[in-house]
Amino acid sequence: DGGITQSPKYLFRKEGQNVTLSCEQNLNHDAMYWYRQDPGQGLRLIYYSQIVNDFQKGDIAEGYSVSREKKESFPLTVTSAQKNPTAFYLCASSNLGLFNEKLFFGSGTQLSVL
Amino acid sequence: DQQVKQNSPSLSVQEGRISILNCDYTNSMFDYFLWYKKYPAEGPTFLISISSIKDKNEDGRFTVFLNKSAKHLSLHIVPSQPGDSAVYFCAASIQGAQKLVFGQGTRLTINP
């Protein structure tokens, strides 16, 4: 059963702590994306990667970092520099990395600050 | 600057009637539009899309209309069913510019 798996479903961060959100896909898609959703706002792009070992900043990359060492995996680290990390984080993938392709999303991770 | 706007945060429709969800955009360079549906605690799923060279695209109970001069698109669901209760996001892209912008979402509730 192909899809995107995000873990954990819920995550709590202490002040000054870095946390990493996992995203794995078995759809054999080249492109992967991280979005952030805040209440009453649309999804905003944090980072995207169209190929292994390469990634690009999105609209709100400050305070976040990513890596793309494997085609299947695109973890997102929320660093202590991100002052307002509480949000719902969504990972997505697409076949070619074209921005008019349909995206396949994971179930999301809710990050909260303790 | 919110380039894609869904001005209705919520919409309530009776089962069997038509649901109309609206989306406005400000950037005339957008050339492809998509609608996604999201259930609670799940990721969005793709619903339907339309290219700027068309003004209508239909898929079963779902039809998307595009009015380029008004920079407006709408999603029609006929007939509405209880399983359609979800949050609907519209999104607009500029091919070649690697840009995709989402609206804020509209929560649709279908009442029995």
Q: What is the pLDDT of residues A12-46, one digit of tens each?
A: 988 889 999 999 999 999 999 999 999 888 899 99
Contact with chain A for residue B80, Cβ under 8 A: no
Residues of chain A positioned with their CB less than 8 A from the CB of B45: 105
- The pLDDT, as a whole number, for residue B40 is 87
- The pLDDT, as a whole number, for residue A42 is 86
Contact check, Cβ <8 Å, B104/A40: yes
User: Could you say which DSSP state residue B41 is in?
Assistant: T
- The pLDDT, as a whole number, for residue A39 is 85
Contact with chain A for residue B62, Cβ under 8 A: no
pLDDT tens per residue, range B51-110? 999 999 999 999 999 999 999 999 999 999 999 999 999 999 988 777 789 999 999 999
Mean pLDDT confidence for A71-100: 91
Q: How confident is the model at residue B1 (pLDDT cuts 50, 70, 90)?
A: low
Contact check, Cβ <8 Å, A41/B104: yes
Q: How confident is the model at residue A1 (pLDDT cuts 50, 70, 90)?
A: low
Contact check, Cβ <8 Å, B95/A98: yes
CB-CB: which of B41, B94, B95 is closest to A107? B41
Contact check, Cβ <8 Å, B32/A100: yes
Closest CA to B109 of B84, B79, B73: B84
Which of B35, B98, B99 to probe the A interface (max A CBs under 10 A)?
B98
Residues of chain A positioned with their CB less than 8 A from the CB of B29: none
Distance between A13 CA and the closest CA of chain B, angstroms: 20
More confident residue, A99 or B39: B39
Please give the Cα distance from B46 to B63 (Å, whole number): 14
Contacts of B89 (CB under 8 A, 6+ apart): A42, A43, B6, B35, B36, B37, B38, B44, B102, B103, B104, B105
CB-CB: which of A42, A98, A102 is closest to B4? A42
String of b and e for A34-64 (b: at least 16 CB within 10 Å)?
Answer: bbbbeeeebbbbbbbbbeeeebeebebbeeb
